[in-house]
Amino acid sequence: MSADPIQKIAAELSRLPGIGQKSAQRLAYHIASMPEEQVHSLASALWNGRKSIRQCPVCFNYTEDDLCPICADESRDNGQICVVREARDAAAIERMRDFKGRYHVLGGTLSPLNGIGPDDLRIKELIGRLSDPGIKEVIIATNPDIEGEATASYLARLIKPMGVRVTRIAHGVPVGSDLEYADEVTLSKALEGRREM
Amino acid sequence: MSADPIQKIAAELSRLPGIGQKSAQRLAYHIASMPEEQVHSLASALWNGRKSIRQCPVCFNYTEDDLCPICADESRDNGQICVVREARDAAAIERMRDFKGRYHVLGGTLSPLNGIGPDDLRIKELIGRLSDPGIKEVIIATNPDIEGEATASYLARLIKPMGVRVTRIAHGVPVGSDLEYADEVTLSKALEGRREM
């Protein structure tokens, strides 16, 4: 019954994050029913896309060219580096169109339990970039979770002695959310970080 | 920022059912980070898989060969045809390893609102198969929803006059479920279909 190619498609799809056995099956049957040219365009976007993607040697963002579009953009502010865990976090900040500095993609966060230490992240490369005297501020935008916070404090301890300002993105209640449903830690951070109006 | 190939991958993925913009983005970034050979194996499973899949000319299941493995299997019972909406429904029944007859994939269910009438389904082909005097029973296993029921009654009215027994899969409370959460229609069907113990 289970025509072999369908099972093979399902097996490959189920290796992707967030796609379980059942949805992989569903998707595989859907792909079997799709017009050939649509499947071709999907498969070639995956393969040609992956082949053309490299890492920017400066900030470790994804790029098709030698430098990523942001590092190559001369109009951006050299004085600020925003440190993120993954390239997709930089993409999220870019979507807001507010930040005009540069990025640095760590490639993860410190996680001693998973054996991820400073040498497994692109921290040495970040420190290397700070030798440029034009850099005034490092904004740490790792996730507001335990590992993200630990990574942020580690970086702050490392960078501050170099005379560069280190800042952390604000914690607080998300815009549009309901106070009633905010957890206590977020609420207490929101109170702590209150501002004059 | 948004390296173009990543957006292209995300756009292709978001055309698949059940994959929204956000998960397509997430998957695309994951694919950018995957080893090239894994992406190659995914892309080629999709494309080579799709290319090798055809429809069985007898039951309209998916197959790599001329006939699907079930139609080609001489040990199966020619007397029973189980009618399903999609190939994946036949796969679900096969997983149970209980049914030993043949299948017929309708390719949909009657849905006047969506403009799907009898001629859009493989009903003519099903009737054609019933000219074989060996066929004793048609089991209708369309979904227990409005369209599935309408299709089942339509088929029953069509087939019964040909002297072939037509049955419908049982409706009732799913095994392992909680009566408290069963909806009223299911519960009333379960009561209606009660059996001696």
Instruction: Give residue-wise pLDDT tens across range B102-129.
Output: 999 999 999 999 999 999 999 999 999 9
ipTM of the complex: 0.80
Task: Kindly tell me if the per-residue pLDDT of A93 is higher than 70.
Answer: yes
- Neighboring chain A residues of B54 at a CB cutoff of 8 Å: none
pTM above 0.90, yes or no: no
Residues contacting A185, CB < 8 A, separation 6+: none
Q: Are B162 and B104 in contact (CB under 8 A)?
A: no
Instruction: Retrieve residue A82's tokens.
Output: 């925003």
Nearest CB to A42: which of B34, B46, B48?
B46
Give per-residue pLDDT as tens, B34-70. 999 999 999 999 999 999 999 999 999 999 999 999 9
Contact assessment for residue A135 and residue A78, using Cβ atoms and an 8 Å cutoff: yes
Q: What is the pLDDT of residue A2?
A: 47
β A137-140/A80-84 pair status: parallel
**How does pLDDT run across B145-196, given as a tens digit for each residue?**
889 999 999 999 999 999 999 998 888 878 777 777 778 888 777 777 777 6
Span A24-65, pLDDT tens digits: 999 999 999 999 999 999 999 999 999 999 999 999 999 999
- Distance from the Cα of B116 to chain A's closest Cα (Å) equals 17
Amino acid at B60: F
* pLDDT score at A197: 67
Residues of B in contact with A65 (CB under 8 A): none
Length reported for chain A: 197
Q: Which residues of B touch A67 (CB under 8 A)?
A: none
Residue B68, C-beta contacts closer than 8 angstroms, at least 6 positions apart? A1, A3, B56, B58, B59, B61, B62
Q: Which of B29, B39, B46 faces A9 most closely, judged by CB atoms?
A: B46
Say if residue A66's pLDDT is above 50.
Answer: yes
Q: Which residues are within 8 A (CB) of A166 and not within 5 positions of it... i.e. 6 or more apart?
A: A137, A138, A140, A155, A156, A159, A160
pLDDT reported for residue B144: 85
Rounded distance between C-alpha atoms, residue A112 and residue B112, angstroms: 60
Integer-rounded Cα radius of gyration of chain B: 21
